[in-house]
Amino acid sequence: MSKRTRRQLTRAQRLTVIYGVVCFVLVLVVLQLWLLTATVNAWLGDDDGVVWPALAASAGCLALNIGLLRSFLRR
């Protein structure tokens, strides 16, 4: 989205976009919670195979969340 378009959004439109961003961040956080519980369960069951992929996936979610937060704070 260009600066020109963004500045022409009304507050109601910006709010809609922001609600979408917050919902997406919330979904990613819930996904991370599920990943963490599944990883703990697997690790306690002596299954180390999922530990590193789960860490990478969770870190990817964090990176996405930070990117979304930055775009959110610019609005």
Q: How far apart are CA 53 and CA 19, in angstroms?
A: 30
Q: Closer CB to other proteins, residue 1 or residue 32? A: 32
When binding is defined by CB under 8 A, the residue of 1, 12, 17, 74 that contacts other proteins is 12
DSSP alpha helices (H): ranges in 1-75? 3-7, 11-44, 51-74
Q: Please state the φ and ψ torsions of residue 7, each to the nearest 5 degrees.
A: -70, -20
Would you tell me which residues interact with other proteins (CB under 8 A)?
A: 3-4, 7-8, 10-12, 15, 18-19, 21-22, 25-26, 28-29, 32-33, 35-36, 39-48, 51-52, 54-55, 58-59, 61-62, 65-66, 68-69, 72-73
